[in-house]
Amino acid sequence: MTAVTRGQPAESMYLNQPRPGLVAQVFAPDKVSLKGQYEYGSVFSNDGKEFYYAVIVNKKPQIRLSTLKNGKWTEPAVILASDRYEYNDPFLSPDGTKLFFISDRSLDGQGDKKDFDIWYIDRRKDGWSEPVNAGRAINSDKNEYYMSFTADGTMYYSSNGATKPPNEQNYDIYASRFSSGGFQRSQKLGSSINSEQYEADVFVSPDEKYLIFCGERSDGFGKGDLFISFKDEKGAWQKAKNMGKEINTDQYEFCPFVSSDGKYLFFSRSGDIYWVSADIINTLR
């Protein structure tokens, strides 16, 4: 997985939508965040010319893609879907050659559904490869959710693999370095991030200076809030803080993603995708 420099999407990107300020707005209500449809978990490619997101259809999440071609955005096309399995939480590798996601599909893609694992498909000249499981360094016998990457390929994700009943919802955030052609044994982040409650849906900045995640905590604004942690001068994660009422409501906020130009924070809420100026991150430092 090659380290890359993050691209700088042109101002004509973002599905030609009016840019938000410090008040979160529904993203692309005429193209993506449609009434009567549940969308979440979005990500743009580094060059801003591909937009991936998940949609629930007949109770099964699927992954869709809209592409900028000849100055126009294509209608969203389904790239991963099944009547049996769920596909969601799309995220591109730093070099854009792999699309990662989570799924409850069986390892052979034929049997009964299982717990959620992290998978990926390889980009090829003639399309995408068949799904590949990310392996035992990442996946456990329980659930793994929502991944993101630093510029050097380190994966951040969440799992409840280390918990036991009745604490199945005690998801924690982990990191796995990528070296020698594969992911290394994952390390659980410390108590400045993780707690005895739910932490998942983690976005890490490419330079690994901050991370944003969804937490279900008693001191939150609603069912699930977005929290943020910054690294200190010694490289340690500071105690995570709630991102505040400008982001969080009495509903559920999850699936954060910051565009590669650093200008916009995307997240999901109540079946729609939202975006807001990433300047809001600097107000929390």
> Which tens digits make up the pLDDT trace of 51-98?
999 999 999 999 999 999 988 999 999 999 999 999 999 999 999 999
User: Residue 106 to residues 84, 87, 113, 160, 176: CA-CA distances in angstroms?
Assistant: 10, 12, 5, 19, 23
Residue 19 has pLDDT above 90, yes or no: yes
- Residue 71 pLDDT: 87
Closest CA to 256 of 148, 110, 181: 148
Burial 18-31 (b: 16+ CB within 10 A, else e): eebeeebbbbbeee
Amino acid present at 235: G
In the three-class reduction of DSSP (H, G, I as helix; E, B as strand; rest coil), residue 118 is classed as: strand
Query: Per-residue pLDDT for 143 more than 70?
Result: yes
SS (H, E, C) 15-81: HHCCCCCCCCEECCCCCCCCCCCEEEEEEECCCCCEEEEEEEECCEEEEEEEEEECCEECCCEEEEC
Q: Which residue, 21, 51, 26, is CA-closest to 37?
A: 26
**Cβ count within 10 A of residue 11:** 10
Task: Give Cβ neighbours of residue 20 (< 8 Å, ≥ 6 apart).
Answer: 264, 275, 276, 277
Looking at the chain, how many residues does it have? 285
pLDDT, residue 164, reads 81
How much of the chain exceeds pLDDT 90, in percent?
91
Residue 194's nearest CA partner among 178, 214, 209, 210 is 214
- Asked if residues 80 and 88 have their Cβ atoms less than 8 Å apart, the reply is no
Q: What is the pLDDT of residues 200-224, one digit of tens each?
A: 999 999 999 999 999 999 889 999 9
By C-alpha distance, which of 251, 242, 247, 257 is closest to 271?
251
* pTM (2 d.p.): 0.95
pLDDT in tens, 242-266: 999 999 999 999 999 999 999 999 9
* Mean pLDDT, range 132-161, rounded to an integer: 97
In one-letter notation, the amino acid at residue 79 is I
